[in-house]
């Protein structure tokens, strides 16, 4: 019997380890992994380059007007075994992970026209299923019919500590307090914005991984995925 493929939607607050679980899951199931946060970050990076957005300012109309000119592609890096974000043909994987982008991304992702463009592209990636996608609105807006929905949470302090370590490991200059403030700020904007706020889908399984090890978490998620695949 040929196994049916499903869509796995992983949503949650920033730095809850969504992408670690999603990547691992996609590799085990031989599914495609899509990090939708990278797409919002790339649009934000574009807006920063054009000086459409700063801490005090957002030229929403200029960005909306430019949207048809912006192309986003995931390009697979076989050495890293990871798809990297390309903005108009240029690899911006490192640039989009900086704290400067993190500080402005929630502002840009609250723009409905930006969301509409990205959601359309995300939905097109799921037509053949066999997909693990992580973000904030995947189970509620992008794929409300996803066979498996997960919602990840953890305390802001735990999340900030993880993100801080990750940034230091990659050579970014940042302080723990700056990261914690950013995590809290993004939680607030992402969950209170008007368009597609971060909320748990009714049928999502919630994981608070503040004190859960990665292995335990992965095993639970993997078993859930196998169950959903067998039921599909
Ligand atoms: O997953 P991340 O932390 O890289 O996401 C960066 C930001 O992008 C997040 O703070 C809000 C926005 N985002 C969104 O609005 N919707 C998504 N599906 C994914 C990310």
Q: Are 140 and 205 in contact (CB under 8 A)?
A: no
| pTM, entire model | 0.95
Question: Is any ligand 1 atom within 6 A of the Cβ of residue 186?
Answer: yes
- Determine the Cα–Cα distance for residues 117 and 209; give it in Å rounded to an integer: 32
pLDDT at 211 over 90: no
Question: Is any ligand 1 atom within 6 A of the Cβ of residue 122?
Answer: no
Phi-psi region of 144 (alpha: psi -120 to 50; beta: other; left: phi over 0): alpha
pLDDT at 2 over 80: no
Task: Give the other-Cβ count within 10 Å of 175's Cβ.
Answer: 11
Mean pLDDT for 203-207 is: 95
Output the pLDDT for position 1. Answer: 59
Nearest CA to ligand 1 atom 8: 37
pLDDT in tens, 155-187: 999 999 999 998 999 898 899 999 999 999 999
Mean pLDDT for 190-205 is: 95
Give the Å distance between the CA of 15 and the centre of ligand 1: 10
- Determine the Cα–Cα distance for residues 179 and 157; give it in Å rounded to an integer: 10
Measure CA 18 to chain center.
8
Output the pLDDT for position 82. Answer: 85
Percentage of the chain lying above the pLDDT 90 cut: 87
pLDDT at 60 over 90: yes
Strand ranges inside the chain, DSSP E: 7-12, 32-35, 72-77, 82-87, 90-91, 131-135, 148-153, 205-208
Nearest CA to ligand 1 atom 1: 37
pLDDT in tens, 75-85: 999 898 889 99
Q: Are 31 and 131 in contact (CB under 8 A)?
A: yes
Mean pLDDT for 29-40 is: 97
Question: Is any ligand 1 atom within 6 A of the Cβ of residue 109?
Answer: yes
Give the Å distance between the CA of 220 and the centre of ligand 1: 24
Give the Å distance between the CA of 37 and the centre of ligand 1: 4
């Amino acid at each position: 019997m040929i196994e049916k493929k499903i869509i796995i939607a992983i949503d949650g607050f920033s730095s809850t380890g969504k992408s670690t679980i999603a990547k691992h899951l996609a590799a085990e199931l031989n599914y495609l992994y899509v990090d939708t946060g990278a797409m919002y970050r790339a649009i934000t990076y574009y807006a920063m380059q054009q000086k459409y957005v700063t801490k005090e300012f957002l030229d929403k109309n200029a960005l909306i007007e430019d949207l048809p000119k912006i192309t986003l592609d995931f390009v697979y890096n076989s050495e890293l075994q990871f798809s990297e974000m390309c903005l108009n043909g240029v690899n911006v994987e490192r640039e989009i992970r900086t704290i400067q982008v993190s500080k402005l991304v929630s502002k840009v992702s609250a723009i409905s026209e930006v969301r509409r463009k990205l959601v359309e592209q995300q939905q097109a990636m799921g037509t053949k299923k066999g997909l693990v996608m992580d973000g904030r609105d995947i189970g509620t807006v992008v794929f409300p019919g996803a066979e498996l929905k997960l919602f990840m949470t953890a305390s802001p302090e735990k999340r900030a500590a993880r993100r801080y370590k990750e940034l230091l490991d990659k050579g970014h200059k940042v302080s723990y307090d700056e990261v914690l403030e950013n995590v809290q700020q993004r939680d607030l904007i992402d969950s209170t914005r008007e368009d597609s706020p971060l909320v748990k889908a009714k049928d999502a399984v919630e994981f608070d991984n503040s004190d859960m090890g990665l292995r335990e978490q992965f095993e639970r998620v993997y078993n859930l995925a196998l169950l959903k695949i067998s039921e599909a």
